Amino acid sequence: MYTELFSEVHEVLADYQPLLVTAGTMYPVVAWAGGRFHRLVFIAHVGQVVGDLDMRLVQFNPHTYVTKVVPGKVAPRITNDSSRFVLFELRCEEIDVAHGFTDVGLEIVVSNTAMFSAIALGIVPRYAPVWPNHLDVVIV
């Protein structure tokens, strides 16, 4: 809407600060998709990558500790590259909420090293303005 601010309707649910990531599998941002937002966006900001970087979205059941992939939410592999910006769009009806999968996370697999940061945004909120808890400064 024309008059509203970005920070009033886009909530930072989780963030992973810019960091040099070494080889392994990790879940830098995990967000609860259980009710306050109709849409989530996972923004992966990739710097210098040595080797391979694979990214995909996974869903998680916090009661049974079962994890499974979100169908179709896989990014192409990034190999020996830099300055890449990848967006995962997620409609919350795409996750298996009927079976308790209420959390969604970005899974990254690094074969060597990667400079990486990520943010999970909740958008189309049920209630606005959203909480600015994760923000350190908002200049209006």
Partner 1 sequence: MYTELFSEAHAVLVHQEPVSTSGALSYGYVDLSNYHRAVLVLHVGACKGDVDCELLQNDDPADPTNEKPIDVPGWGADKEINTLTNTTSDICIIELRTEELDVNGGFHYVGVAVNTTQAAIISYVLYGIEPRYEPVPVTLIEEVVP
Please give the residue ranges that form the binding site for partner 1 (CB under 8 A).
2, 5-7, 12, 15, 17-20, 38-39, 41, 43, 45-48, 57, 72-76, 78, 82-89, 115-117, 119, 121, 123-124, 134-140
For the bound state, the minimum distance from the C-beta of residue 5 to partner 1, rounded and expressed in Å, comes to 5
- For β-strands 78-79 and 66-74, DSSP reports them as unpaired
20, 117 in Cβ contact below 8 A?
A: no
User: Could you tell me which residues are beta bridge partners of residue 12?
Assistant: 121
C-alpha to C-alpha distances, 118 to 1, 65, 140, nearest whole angstrom: 26, 23, 23
Measured from the CB atom, the residue of 60 and 114 that comes closer to partner 1 is 114
For the bound state, the minimum distance from the C-beta of residue 63 to partner 1, rounded and expressed in Å, comes to 27
Coil, strand or helix at 97: helix
The conformation of residue 67, written as its DSSP 8-state character, comes to E
For the bound state, the minimum distance from the C-beta of residue 114 to partner 1, rounded and expressed in Å, comes to 9
Measured from the CB atom, the residue of 65 and 127 that comes closer to partner 1 is 127
Measured from the CB atom, the residue of 86 and 97 that comes closer to partner 1 is 86
Nearest CA to 43 out of 78, 72, 16 is that of 16
Measured from the CB atom, the residue of 36 and 39 that comes closer to partner 1 is 39
For the bound state, the minimum distance from the C-beta of residue 14 to partner 1, rounded and expressed in Å, comes to 11
